[in-house]
Structures are given as structure tokens and as C-alpha cells.
Chains A and B, each alone.
Chain A
Amino acid sequence: DTAVSQTPKYLVTQMGNDKSIKCEQNLGHDTMYWYKQDSKKFLKIMFSYNNKELIINETVPNRFSPKSPDKAHLNLHINSLELGDSAVYFCASSQGKWGGQGRRWQPQHFGDGTRLSIL
């Protein structure tokens, strides 16, 4: 059973279009994330949701809008796609904080990624 699944796996589209990527996790986790991996393989956080509430919103253009209908799903909608949006987008999930100290985080588990190519 796939733990974190993303669709589609590949997305090829033209500049200016609007597209969405969907993510679902069946691990029972309460926190989900979107990361972007650029052509140099550097992974950077974009957004995170905890129990449907947005808790991290990095400096991402507002053309990117995440939506979490429930804690098992986190979607990413991108408006007016630009050439610079070409990258691999990874969804991840984790159980969030644990332990009495409150500053330790469970590891995150990643989906297979969506390779977005803008023509």
C-alpha cells in the first residue's frame, strides 16, 4: 500500500496554464507538506498544514495555493504557470511533534513526486 501518493506523476503544460497536484496519505499523520526540488536537486519547503490548518507558508508566489480538505489530503494549485516553476514537487507527511519536550519532530515520509515541466 502506498503511504503517500501524489498525482499526477508527470505534468507537462504550457506557460500561463493553471494546474493542480493532489496528495493523499494513509499513514494517519496529522501534518502534511509541500516541497519543491529544483534542477540542482535542492529541496525547499513551500507549505505545511497541521489538521487542515496552514502553519507554514514560505516565501512562495501567491500563484501557488495549497488546500487541505481533511488531514489526509493536501492539494497544490498553481495559477499562471511560469518557466521557473519547472521542478519536482514532493508531498510529505509526518505525525508532527512528539515527546514531552515539544520540539522534536517525527520524520517525514515523502510521496514519489510530481515532475512539472513548463513548455
Chain B
Amino acid sequence: QKEVEQNSGPLSVPEGAIASLNCTYSDRVSQSFFWYRQYSGKSPELIMSIYSNGDKEDGRFTAQLNKASQYVSLLIRDSQPSDSATYLCAEGYNQGGKLIFGQGTELSVKP
């Protein structure tokens, strides 16, 4: 079974700081990667998808993909208390497109 590994949390950052979330994956042929945010008791909500090496920015969020090193990261600039949630890294596995999730990193942004 292919694996996706994330930083074990919880990760605590002060309001306004940059939160950095990291994820590694084991399947070299994967080309689809996703970051989801999940608030307690809610469903996963897509934040970013990334398919090519390099950075992809969307507002305060930047996803970074490095296929050679098999890692994907998410940076959250100007972190807000409302960003406090569990962040799930997912790999779109080639077989049937199922998502393989990491265990999630809990982020806490302190006012």
C-alpha cells in the first residue's frame, strides 16, 4: 500500500505568522496532489490541488510540489485563528483515482 506521511501535530503558530505543513509520498508515478482542510465535525474541504513541480499560489495559500524528493507542502501566510483545523494531504493514486490521505496535521493559530 502506497503511503502518505505528514508531520505529526499539533502545530501551533501565532496569528500573522506563516504556517508550514509538510507531506511526503511513496508512489513515484503519482501526479495529483491535494490539500484539504477539515474543521472538527465537518467534511474535508479542498484548499489546493497541484500537479506540476514548483509553487502554486492561491490567496494566502501556497502549495509546493517536488517530485524528485517526493514531497508536497502547504504554506499559509498571515495565519488567522479561523485557519485552525486539521490539514489533510492527499495523493491521487493512479489506480481508479482514489485519494490516499496522510494522517493529518492539526494546526492551531493563537490570537
A-side residues, CB < 8 A to B, are 31, 33, 35, 40-45, 48, 50, 55-56, 58, 90, 92, 94, 96-97, 101, 103-113
| B interface residue count range (under 10 / 10 to 19 / 20 to 34 / 35 or more) | 20 to 34
**A48 contact set on B, CB distance < 8 A:** 96-98
Q: Does B32 sit within 8 A of A, measured CB to CB?
A: yes
User: Is B101 touching A42 in the complex (CB atoms < 8 A)?
Assistant: yes
Q: How far apart are B56's CB and chain A's nearest CB, in angstroms?
A: 13
How many pairs of A and B residues are in contact by the CB < 8 Å rule? 65
User: Is A41 touching B86 in the complex (CB atoms < 8 A)?
Assistant: yes
Q: How long is the Cα–Cα vector from A100 to B75 in the complex, in angstroms?
A: 29
Tell me the dominant secondary structure on chain B's binding face. loop
User: Is B104 touching A104 in the complex (CB atoms < 8 A)?
Assistant: no
User: Nearest CB to that of B43 among chain A residues?
Assistant: A110
B85-109 with Cβ < 8 A to chain A: 86, 88, 92, 94-101, 103-104
B-side residues, CB < 8 A to A, are 29-32, 34, 36, 38, 42-46, 49, 51, 86, 88, 92, 94-101, 103-104
User: Is A43 touching B101 in the complex (CB atoms < 8 A)?
Assistant: yes
Partner of B51, one of A56, A97, A104: A104
